[in-house]
Amino acid sequence: MEVDYTGNDNEYEAEYDTMGAQTEASIEDKLNKHEVYGDEAMKELTPILEKLTFAKDSSEEEVIQEVTQAFNLKDDYQEFDLEVVFEDGTKKEYKVNNK
């Protein structure tokens, strides 16, 4: 997920990839000058991701609203880009460009 706001270095980026038994995670929160990687990022992201209830047939608006609330992000973003791979392998991308 990548969310960009107006101004320099106003970006929130979170990544959580599960590849078989291996998981990679990172948070690059330039809004709050907070960057974590690996196990520490997994500890922060796991409880947030567990709150998410949207499904692959949820509307783009529902998904974006739920994700911005779960991550406590402001709605005044310039760009929002989220890529999700659901358990059945379905891959969906949710994008908004307000520039």
What average pLDDT does this structure show over 31-57? 95
pLDDT digits (tens, 9 = 90+) for 47-73: 999 999 999 999 999 999 999 999 999
Pure H helices in 1-99? 39-51, 60-70
> CA 39 to CA 23: how far, in whole Å?
9
pLDDT band, very low/low/confident/very high, at 5 (cuts 50, 70, 90) = very high
- The reply to whether the predicted model has a pTM over 0.75 is yes
Q: Would the pLDDT of 27 be above 80? A: yes
